[in-house]
Amino acid sequence: MRDLELSVLDLSPVPSGSSTSAALHETVELGRIVERAGYRRMWLAEHHGIPSVASSSPEILIQAVADATSTLRVGSGGIMLPNHSPLKVAETFRALAGLHPSQDPSGTRIDLGLGRAPGTDPRTAIALRRRVGDPLRGGVEALTADDFPEQFAELRGYVDGLPADHPFAGIEAMPNDVPLPPVWILASSYYGGQAAAAFGTGFAYAGHFGGADPGEATRIYRRQFRPSDAAGAQDPHVILAAAVMCSEDPGRARAMGRAHALSMARLRTGNPGPLPSPEEADAHDWSPVELQVEQGMAAKMTAGTPDEVRADLERRAQEADADEIMIVSPIHDSDERRRSYELIADAFGVTGTTADRAAVASA
């Protein structure tokens, strides 16, 4: 089995009893911690209208985390393309790339992960980006995942040039003296693997909630991958996201996992709220539907001691043929959350590798 790289996906979870703005500050502090622990990259998510998630503007968090670190790759996990103008995305990420250069082949510490879905409910999606019609008179339509190929081609066109007959031909994303950061397509279905292969980008599979078989999604991606000069001639690379709770106390790790399951159950049953504590989850009167969601979450979550976590993540990575594991840990207590990431890094022996990698790059 290949050596696994470890990365982080953060949604700025909002614990019960805390505030959404505090969650943003915690994300920035977590960036410092995981850089010291040796993680390869940290991505920030885009979600809207979810009480347990404060990460609605990943581009702002990317800037904050990149400013607070020096070697960690920082990116979007992801920018939900239906919510945005492709030109604005290209401009924003070229600006971020220019502000945060690196000596690796990409030339920047920034990653651009793109999602096909709005990351929210249909009404909020319309509020984010209207397409046609007047919201006061009806007829408003939001962009959807079906529009992704056209949007992606337009985004790339503002960097590589649009066809002469395109209505926006000649428009260029500024600054124009830096490349677009490495592009990744995020997915929770097989189509995402096909799209990443066709566009020649990296592929990140949402193993923490996706309904498809990660191994089959990866096989589709690797089998169909076509290198693309437009995408920077990236090699195929698979990131598998996983929900992970780690503690020296196995019972505590599982209790943290159950609190996350309760948060997901509330979201899926139309009763979203802040992230509950393990104690709140233990005292909760679980409905049959919530218990069913918890059972479904069990296969998508790893909770245990450092040795247990390493063994399970290595199994998941091998089954999915993944190059990298991206860990998401919505844990109520900030100290326990930080400690979870440190324990996982220690278990994999990656502590210090980020600094070592930076030293090698600058030599």
The pLDDT value recorded for residue 133 is 56
Q: Which amino acid is at 94?
A: R
Burial group, residue 90, by CB count within 10 angstroms (0-12, 13-18, 19+): buried
Query: Rounded distance, CA 58 to CA 74, Å?
Result: 10
Q: Does residue 208 contact residue 301 with C-beta atoms inside 8 Å?
A: yes
229-257 burial, b at 16+ Cβ within 10 Å, e below that, comes to ebbbebebbbbbbbbbbbbeeeebbbbbb
Confirm if 67 and 35 have CB atoms less than 8 A apart: no
Q: DSSP per residue over 233-288, as a string?
A: SPPP-EEEEEEEEE-SSHHHHHHHHHHHHHHHHHHHTT---SBPPHHHHHHS---H
What pLDDT, on the 0 to 100 scale, is given for residue 147? 84
pLDDT the model gives residue 358: 43
CA distance linking residue 298 with residue 294, whole number of Å: 6
User: Nearest 5°: phi and psi at 82?
Assistant: -60, -20
Q: How far is CA 147 from CA 48, 81, 84, 115, 131, in A?
A: 20, 9, 12, 11, 12
Q: What is the pTM of this model?
A: 0.91
d(CA 27, CA 65): 8
């089959």: which residue's tokens?
216
Cα angle 68, 324, 229; round to 5: 85
Task: Using only the alpha carbons of the chain, give its radius of gyration.
Answer: 20
Assess contact for 19 and 274: CB atoms under 8 A: no
pLDDT at 232 (0 to 100): 54
Q: What is the residue whose two structure tokens read 């920034």?
A: 110
pLDDT at 52: 95
Q: CATH code for 5-248+305-362? A: 3.20.20.30
Q: What is the DSSP string of 68-102?
A: H-SS-EEEES-EEGGGS-HHHHHHHHHHHHHHSB-
Q: Which residues contact 251 (CB under 8 A, 6 or more apart)?
A: none
* Helix ranges restricted to H, the chain: 20-37, 58-68, 86-99, 122-128, 148-160, 190-199, 214-224, 250-268, 278-283, 288-298, 306-320, 334-348, 353-362
Q: What pLDDT does residue 177 have?
A: 95
User: Looking at residue 146, what is its pLDDT?
Assistant: 77
Q: pLDDT by residue for the chain (363 residues), tens digit each?
A: 558 999 999 999 999 999 999 999 999 999 999 999 999 999 999 999 999 999 999 999 999 999 999 999 999 999 999 999 999 999 999 999 999 999 988 899 999 999 988 778 888 888 887 665 554 455 556 566 678 999 999 999 999 999 999 999 999 999 999 999 999 999 999 999 999 999 999 999 999 998 899 999 999 999 999 988 665 557 899 999 999 999 999 999 999 999 999 999 999 999 999 999 999 999 999 999 999 999 999 989 999 999 999 999 999 999 999 999 999 999 999 999 999 999 999 999 986 544 443 433 333
pLDDT of residue 190: 93
Question: Domain residue spans in the chain?
Answer: 5-248+305-362
Residue from 3, 168, 7, 140 nearest 72 by CA: 7
